[in-house]
Chain A
Amino acid sequence: MTAQASTGGAPSKLRGPLATLRELFLRNLRQSGIFIAFVAIVALFAILTDGTLLSPGNITNIVLQFSYILVLAIGMVIVIIGGHIDLSVGSLAALAGAVSAVLVIKHGMPWWVGVLAAIAVGVLAGAWQGFWVAYVGIPAFITTLAGMLLFRGLTYSVLENISLSPFPKPYQNIGNGFVNGLLGGNGYDLFTLVIFGVAVLGYWFAQFRARRAAISYKQTVAPFGLFVVKLVVVGAVVMWFAWQLAHARGLPIVLIILGVLIIGYTLITTRTVFGRHVYAIGGNLTAATLSGVKVKWVNFRIMLNMGFLTGVAGVLFSARTNGAQPGAGNLFELDAIAASFIGGAAVTGGVGRVVGAMVGGLIMATLSNGMQLMGIGLPMQQVVKGVVLLLAVAFDVYNKRRAGAVR
């Protein structure tokens, strides 16, 4: 058996640190590009607004204002990786909020009944759409377009065409409240700093463990110096962010919810069988089917999960606006879809990351907020956001063409 073709030759595993760095950067060009763009946009608006953008109060505002879009974007990016789309999330978020409002405001039930009911509405609607998409085989575009009309109609009839307001204080706090003063502090909230400090330590610990495991499996890792620099920079940015929050009103409750969801879904998409199957389906449906992926069941769960997160977003939005309106959530789906695509998800499916979608969402948020601070009107804001979305996807297409040429 001397079939070893000696042409080519195995490339050496020993590379200089620079080559490694370059490789790591190029491999993640799609993601790195988005981070660089985000930093650039933040810097641009920080200068244009004389620093108002990064003031403690404004940062808190951005978090409160865009949390529900980010929650939706988590679900949306998974839907898009699987090769689908969901146009119904705006209507469904409105319906979830409306049901909650009817139970809590009209019928005087406790606030937590409203929360559970809203999430239940989301899950049920997700199961409904999952059934049509996965088991009947209706394209998600059509199914959710129908859902968009259906849920909007139900919202109007549940609310009997009028707005309901206000929610009791605990419910409002989900969207507007802060954890503040638990540990005291002088002019700043110590608790916020502690929570973020713990998070940073946890992140460092996880990174160290991953690095140790990678080394024990003889993988190429970034040089140690660079690794430490990365950890320090990330830690510093996060702690600076915490410092700003602590100086304003403390730790927003939505941020806690959002943080848990982001960490949870990052793990689900990268580390579980379900997550990997989503990527497989989006990348090549037939190959996935023939590799033993239960495509229908995975698709059903993708839509079910989107419904669940939409329910959560419905709670956040109704709590933030302190009520339910028949027309709420209009165009949320487009913001969530845009966030996913700006964050590097591929139009054809199979590619995308939760963190990417979050950065994509934050880019949209920074653009809106920055332009608001500068006094640029809504019409112009829309124009700019549209152009950014187009450019982001154009970058993706260009990237892919370049990758395709390397053969």
Chain B
Amino acid sequence: MANNILEMHGITKAFPGVTALSNVDLLVREGEIHAVVGENGAGKSTLMKVLSGVYPYGTYDGDIIFDGEHARFHSIKDSEHAGIAIIHQELALVPYLTVAENIFLGNERIGQLHLIDWNRANKEATALMEQVGLHENPTTPVSQLGVGKQQLIEIAKALSKDVKLLILDEPTAALNDSDSEHLLELLRMLQKRGITSIMISHKLNEIEEIAERTTILRDGKTIETIDMNDKDSTQDRIIRGMVGRDLKHRYPERIKHEIGEEKFRVENWTVHHPTQPGRIVVDNASFYVRAGEVVGIAGLMGAGRTELAMSIFGRSYGRNITGEVYKDGELISTRGVAECIAHGIAYVTEDRKRYGLNLIEDVRRNISAAGLLKLVTRGWVNRNEELKVAEDYRDSMNIKTPTVLQTTGNLSGGNQQKVVLSKWMYTDADVMILDEPTRGIDVGSKYEIYTIVNKLAAQGTAVIVISSELPELLGVCDRIYTLAFGRITGDVPVKEATPESLMRLMTLEPKRSSTKEPAQAGAGKGKS
């Protein structure tokens, strides 16, 4: 039995009106990779905030023993000093500073006269980057690197502080498969050097692959900690622990219904990069969806998935856009978002916090934001009707909030996503584009979202699902388009599709016959 590097006993943390954690125990052995799973709102992030001193000692009940000592962290500085580093879901790098500046931010390499010794800083930054398998110039601004590499820089930053315990909050949520693989590899390597890791993740495959033990949280309580080497430590068991019920299928049964006529068609759609002239982001893409059909768009990060959707939706991205959009067989103009909404097109954005929601506004007004005109009589918004609409959606979409007057920013990710979906369903759209509808939300909410997608299709809505998770597309779609380097490379009925065949199409590189530069794959596709 190895020693425990971290023991959290009976942690209880209450906020006005809610108990986020009640009597949570977490024991982490020295040198292990320990996964923490749970639905959104289960208390994972709160627990990590308690551990890292974001909620200072005294604002919670319970004991933390770290490295054999009672830990009383009053701030993040304290926990960092003790050797705990936390890497957040949202990266905390300064985009316009260089790699080296970011790595040593707050921990600058001081030379003579109390000035920063840049030579030393850059040299050490290069060495740290090598440890995480990154070969970049330390003077490159961070904004020029992809998300995958930025994540590695965060880890390098943690290493620069002699970290003993590394906490990663959803590290692979924004990464593509090869970057994720690389990150997991790196964690194993750090483990060999004696660094303990706690990984919060929703990706059960990953956890099965990498974690030695897994602690399951539900509703602010520890359910159990299981050894992943045991035979019965299956994904199903984890899911059961997380949701408190059996989830026989990860994807709901499709509702039987007829697929109708063609609803929506895009022809020869080409989009140029908004700031880099000559760079083509979407290249001559054509696709269609029928009423009641769920069509997937599969592509790796940087393939142009979001760019394709956003450029169609009111030309919200890119320039020099050419091509035609047909709705119910008629050519329509999609110059502005309002025009698209009027045509019955909805686009549920990828990043709900930045693009989808007004986080400081209440749930009610977020739900009515896009379909507000439906609530207007003689120029006045009917506020009672608005409230009723919001409460109807809260019930039908199972949005967990005590009242629809709750500030949206206070909801968990899964519930926020349901708010965004409600907003667009209220516009009565019959073409719905869902961009990564289940990113960063828990298994239970995912299932609910898939159920909603099924219902929409059964009602005759044409649904387009953009996703980087192939099992998800195979689970919910009728047909899948593959997108690679801005071009549509395949149109595969789901019955004939396998993850392998799709991946082959998604990595199909364009022939270099034309004089145009091939579209760059963008973030994180290099040999990092």
Chain B min CB distance to A390 (Å)? 22
> Which of A6, A214, A290 is within 8 Å of B313, CB to CB?
A290
> Which of A3, A351, A406 is within 8 Å of B447, CB to CB?
A3
A5: nearest chain-B partner, CB-CB: B444
Which residues from chain B contact A346 at a C-beta distance below 8 Å?
360
Q: Is the CB of A287 within 8 A of B358?
A: yes
Chain A min CB distance to B233 (Å)? 23
Instruction: Name, among A8, A219, A287, A404, the residue most crowded by chain B CB atoms within 10 Å (CB to CB).
Output: A287
Instruction: Name, among B20, B360, B387, the residue most crowded by chain A CB atoms within 10 Å (CB to CB).
Output: B360
Chain A min CB distance to B528 (Å)? 29
Q: Is the CB of B358 within 8 A of A406?
A: no
Q: Is the CB of B451 within 8 A of A276?
A: no
User: A365-406: which have CB < 8 Å to B?
Assistant: 403-406
How many chain B residues touch A (CB < 8 A): the figure is 61
Chain A min CB distance to B412 (Å)? 9
Interface of B is mostly: mixed
Q: Is the CB of B451 within 8 A of A286?
A: no
Contact mask A250-275 → B, CB, 8 Å, 1/0? 00000000000000000100111100
Give me 11 A-to-B residue pairs in the complex whose CB atoms sit less than 8 angstroms apart, sorted by A's number: A5-B243, A6-B244, A267-B380, A272-B379, A280-B358, A280-B361, A286-B354, A286-B355, A290-B356, A403-B410, A404-B409
> Which of A1, A217, A288 is within 8 Å of B369, CB to CB?
A288
B residues apposed to A, CB below 8 Å: 15-18, 20, 39, 45-46, 218-219, 243-245, 252-253, 313-314, 316, 336-338, 340-341, 347, 349, 354-361, 365, 369-370, 372-373, 376, 379-381, 383-385, 387-388, 398, 400, 402-403, 405, 407, 409-410, 423, 444, 447-448, 451, 455
Q: Is the CB of B341 within 8 A of A214?
A: no
> Which of B16, B405, B444 is within 8 Å of A27, CB to CB?
B405
In the complex, A11 has a CB within 8 A of chain B: yes
> Which of B370, B385, B407 is within 8 Å of A291, CB to CB?
B370
Q: Is the CB of A291 within 8 A of B451?
A: no
In the complex, A407 has a CB within 8 A of chain B: yes
Instruction: Name, among B252, B361, B448, the residue most crowded by chain A CB atoms within 10 Å (CB to CB).
Output: B361
Q: Is the CB of A7 within 8 A of B361?
A: no
Q: Is the CB of B365 within 8 A of A276?
A: yes
In the complex, A292 has a CB within 8 A of chain B: yes
In the complex, A56 has a CB within 8 A of chain B: no
In the complex, A106 has a CB within 8 A of chain B: no
Q: Is the CB of B384 within 8 A of A217?
A: yes
Which residues from chain B contact A6 at a C-beta distance below 8 Å?
244-245
Chain B min CB distance to A225 (Å)? 23
Q: Is the CB of B384 within 8 A of A291?
A: no
Q: Is the CB of A4 within 8 A of B398?
A: yes
Q: Is the CB of B361 within 8 A of A279?
A: yes
Q: Is the CB of A272 within 8 A of B361?
A: no
Which residues from chain A contact B402 at a C-beta distance below 8 Å?
11
Contact mask A283-315 → B, CB, 8 Å, 1/0? 110111111111000000000000000000000
Q: Is the CB of B357 within 8 A of A284?
A: yes
Q: Is the CB of A350 within 8 A of B383?
A: no
Q: Is the CB of B46 within 8 A of A7?
A: no
Which residues from chain B contact A279 at a C-beta distance below 8 Å?
358, 361, 365
In whole angstroms, what is the CA distance A333 to B119 when docked?
Answer: 49
Chain A min CB distance to B365 (Å)? 7
Q: Is the CB of A217 within 8 A of B388?
A: yes
Q: Is the CB of A271 within 8 A of B358?
A: no
Q: Is the CB of A271 within 8 A of B361?
A: no
In the complex, A232 has a CB within 8 A of chain B: no
Which residues from chain B contact A284 at a C-beta distance below 8 Å?
354, 357-360
Check A406/B16 contact, CB under 8 A, given A5-B243, A290-B349.
yes
Q: Is the CB of B447 within 8 A of A273?
A: no
Which residues from chain A contact B359 at a C-beta distance below 8 Å?
283-284
In whole angstroms, what is the CA distance A293 to B358 when docked?
Answer: 13
In the complex, A194 has a CB within 8 A of chain B: no
In whole angstroms, what is the CA distance A293 to B39 when docked?
Answer: 34
In whole angstroms, what is the CA distance A290 to B346 when docked?
Answer: 9
Chain A min CB distance to B348 (Å)? 10
What 17 new A-B contacts, CB under 8 Å, besides A219-B384, A290-B314, A292-B336?
A6-B244, A7-B219, A213-B384, A217-B385, A220-B403, A271-B381, A276-B369, A283-B359, A284-B359, A284-B360, A286-B355, A287-B349, A287-B357, A288-B358, A290-B313, A407-B15, A407-B46
